[in-house]
Structure 1
Amino acid sequence: MRRDSRRDSTSGNSEVPANANARDMIGEIENRSTHLLAIKTDVETQGEFIRFLIKEVESAAFTDIEDVVPFVKWLDDELSYLVDERAVLKQFDWPEQKADALREAAFGYCDLKKLVSEVSSFRDDPRQPCGPALKKMQALLEKLEHCVYNLSRMRESATKRYKVFQIPMHWMLDTGYVSQIKLASVNLAMKYMKRVSAELETVGGGPEEEELIVQGVRFAFRVHQFAGGFDVETMRAFQELRDKARSCHVQCQNQQHKIFCRSTTC
């Protein structure tokens, strides 16, 4: 009797997931069939339009990256009407490599432009505590460094393809947008050093003062190496930081000397 009851209960529980699995499989088959039917319909009804897009992509040639961006946006907008872009285009002689290269160039350029704009428009808020403000500037510099690194990798892999597909790549060169990235990093260094200099005036000496000076000099050196130098204004900010560091060092020595004199007198 125990074996029977156990067997009955087991068989009763297994029917629920079995039925559920069956319904899931039926639903998946039906949905999949509907999806495939929609793809087939697109292939049959949108053929002329897709062939028009193929000609547009194949004949596309640009001399300015700014012209690639609206073309890619237009192309993506047109393809968005297809129920499944990849599945439909597979049925045609779609120039996939060139279309992907155009997208890669357009998106890469837009990301680069957006980052440079973000860093260039950064304003240090004096109401914000010094620590978070410096961390924010450090994070922006890291973004710029990663951007240049990724751009160099992208340039190596894209050079041949872009030339074949007539996609401009001057913006990827060191003389292109990279120079603007480096200029943005120099301006960031100036703001960083000015914030450190301002904070030194409020810090009452000790380890905190020394740590601030070290942070400022390290950041300045890092940007100097990254950008290959400073402009006049940033160099002036560095000299101001250097002078304050020397002044702090002299004050520290004087305080130590006074303490030493008092201890010896006692």
Structure 2
Amino acid sequence: MRKNSRRECGGGMAETLPASSNARDMIGEIENRSTHLLAIKTDVEIQGEFIRFLIKEVENAAFTDIEDVVPFVKWLDDELSYLVDERAVLKHFEWPEQKADALREAAFGYCDLKKVESEALLSRDDPRQPCGPALKKMQRGVYNLSKMRESATMRYKGFQIPTDWMLETGIVSQIKLASVKLAMKYMKRVSAELETAGGAPPEEEELIVQGVRYAFRVHQFAGGFDGETMRAFQELRDKAGSCQNQQQQKLVCRSTPC
């Protein structure tokens, strides 16, 4: 004990301060925790009738259009945001957690796809917006939807949540159409840049590769082109052939003595 006391004295206040600080932290945590638990208990007692009303609203919710699910989920989340701790309070009631979570999942998934579609349209209409990132977001959004569709379709139907928007004929078809229009714009942009490339072979070749690669990705993703986009692709193909012919003529001229 004397050795320990000497070691503590030799260490000075540096060793006692952390212990004091930790004690204050623990006291503060206990007080905060007690305050939080008291607030939860108060919500359970005071908001009980209102929460039971929300439970009935969720249980009776039935929709035929996903557009109606979105405002319902927003309203529900706004009402629940007044609780001090949503999960801690709701566990004291027979809260339909699975259905509420499914409604949120469907609403958020649909809104994410609508956002992807809007960004694709923005990229198509604004020449300053890059096309590559927009296509990646569309591909990722449709891929995530296909994964969600496999596990969620039956669950959504059981909770009377619309699922037609998840089908290939739903918003997916709109996203694929947006990707085709985006590809048309991209290929027209590449064709225009080929005309102003100044005959620099490396730049022309890189533009052609980028344009064809992008067109191929969209064609695979969308399952084909419409007539207008196909004409844009043919124009790009003709420009590529013209550039290659010009390069071959330059090589022949250089190799042939004047």
Which bracket does the TM-score occupy, shorter chain normalised? over 0.9
For residues 104 and 120 of structure 2, the distance between their equivalents in structure 1, rounded to whole angstroms, comes to: 24
The farther-off stretch of 104-113 and 206-215 is: 206-215
Q: Structure 2 length normalisation: TM-score?
A: 0.94
The percentage of counterpart residues that share the same residue type is: 74
Matching residue of 2:90? 89
Tell me if 1:253 matches 2:248.
yes
Q: Tell me by how many angstroms 1:236 deviates.
A: 1.1
Tell me if 1:174 matches 2:175.
no
For residues 177 and 117 of structure 2, the distance between their equivalents in structure 1, rounded to whole angstroms, comes to: 9
SS of the residue corresponding to residue 121 of structure 1 reads helix
The farther-off stretch of 72-81 and 197-206 is: 197-206
Matching residue of 1:208? 203
Checking the alignment, whether the CA contact within 8 Å between 2:183 and 2:215 is kept in structure 1 is yes
For residues 209 and 179 of structure 2, the distance between their equivalents in structure 1, rounded to whole angstroms, comes to: 19
Matching residue of 1:41? 42
Aligned counterpart for 1:141 among listed residues 111, 135, 140 = 135
Q: Tell me by how many angstroms 1:255 deviates.
A: 1.0
> 1:187/1:5 Cα in 2 relative to 1: closer, same or farther (>3 Å)?
same
Partner AA of 1:60 in structure 2 = A
Q: Tell me by how many angstroms 1:249 deviates.
A: 1.2
Tell me if 1:226 matches 2:221.
yes
SS of the residue corresponding to residue 212 of structure 1 reads helix
SS of the residue corresponding to residue 81 of structure 1 reads coil
For residues 199 and 157 of structure 1, the distance between their equivalents in structure 2, rounded to whole angstroms, comes to: 45
Q: Tell me by how many angstroms 1:121 deviates.
A: 2.3
Matching residue of 2:155? 161
Q: Tell me by how many angstroms 1:12 deviates.
A: 2.7
Partner AA of 1:238 in structure 2 = F
Tell me if 1:241 matches 2:246.
no
Partner AA of 1:221 in structure 2 = F
> 1:81/1:124 Cα in 2 relative to 1: closer, same or farther (>3 Å)?
closer
For residues 185 and 255 of structure 1, the distance between their equivalents in structure 2, rounded to whole angstroms, comes to: 37
Partner AA of 1:57 in structure 2 = V
Tell me if 1:24 matches 2:25.
yes
Root mean square deviation, CA, Å:
1.6
> 1:106/1:11 Cα in 2 relative to 1: closer, same or farther (>3 Å)?
same
Partner AA of 1:27 in structure 2 = G
Q: Which runs of 5+ in 2 are unaligned?
A: none
Checking the alignment, whether the CA contact within 8 Å between 2:8 and 2:15 is kept in structure 1 is no
Checking the alignment, whether the CA contact within 8 Å between 1:124 and 1:191 is kept in structure 2 is no
For residues 205 and 216 of structure 1, the distance between their equivalents in structure 2, rounded to whole angstroms, comes to: 17
For residues 9 and 120 of structure 1, the distance between their equivalents in structure 2, rounded to whole angstroms, comes to: 72
For these two proteins, the number of residue pairs brought into alignment is 254
Q: Tell me by how many angstroms 1:210 deviates.
A: 1.1
Q: Which runs of 5+ in 1 are unaligned?
A: none
> 1:29/1:252 Cα in 2 relative to 1: closer, same or farther (>3 Å)?
same
For residues 121 and 233 of structure 1, the distance between their equivalents in structure 2, rounded to whole angstroms, comes to: 19
